[in-house]
Amino acid sequence: MSNTSRFTTTENRRHTTYNATECRSNTLGLEEIINKQLEVPQPLLTEEQIEQINFTLIEALHTNKQVYLTYYKKGQCITEKGFIQFVDSLGNLFIFIDEVFELKNKMTLSELIDVRFT
């Protein structure tokens, strides 16, 4: 008797047998498909929204006030809470320290969707 687990399905009176590795592989494929369907396009910001984000970033940097930062990454809009440590408008980047792990995150300004004070 084999040590490999086997699963059988009945489909139109045919039997198809899968081993445990094949089932995990199929599950990963389904997970990827579901994640792809959940992706959203990156929101386009108006000039006014971009100016407001820049203003809030600079104020948060100078006052060390905590912010909610919403950014776009891999098809998702993500919101985190933390502090702005550095802003380089010309270089299109900033450094954000998240509240949970207190890790420095270097991001581009073009990834930003919204910045608000907590």
Same domain, 56 and 100: yes
The model's pTM? 0.70
For the segment 18-42, the average pLDDT, to the nearest whole number, is 73
Residues 66, 116: Cα–Cα separation, whole Å? 9
Q: Does 91 fall in a domain?
A: yes
Same domain, 57 and 92: yes
Q: Which two tokens stand for residue 116?
A: 């608000």
Amino acid identity, position 67: V
* Number of other CB atoms surrounding residue 48 within 10 Å: 8
CATH code, domain carrying 113: 2.30.30.520
Residues 72, 91: Cα–Cα separation, whole Å? 18
* 18 pLDDT higher than 60: no
Same domain, 24 and 70: no
Q: Does 64 fall in a domain?
A: yes
Q: Does 1 fall in a domain?
A: no
Residues 113, 73: Cα–Cα separation, whole Å? 10
* 72 pLDDT higher than 90: yes
Phi-psi group of 24: left, alpha or beta (phi > 0 → left; psi -120 to 50 → alpha; rest → beta): alpha
Strand segments, DSSP code E, in the chain are 6-11, 14-19, 67-73, 76-88, 93-98, 104-108, 112-117
Boundaries of domain holding 76: 47-117
For the segment 60-84, the average pLDDT, to the nearest whole number, is 96
For the segment 5-14, the average pLDDT, to the nearest whole number, is 49
* 106 pLDDT higher than 50: yes
Q: What is the DSSP letter of 30?
A: H
Label residue 71 by pLDDT band (50, 70, 90).
very high
pLDDT of residue 24: 58
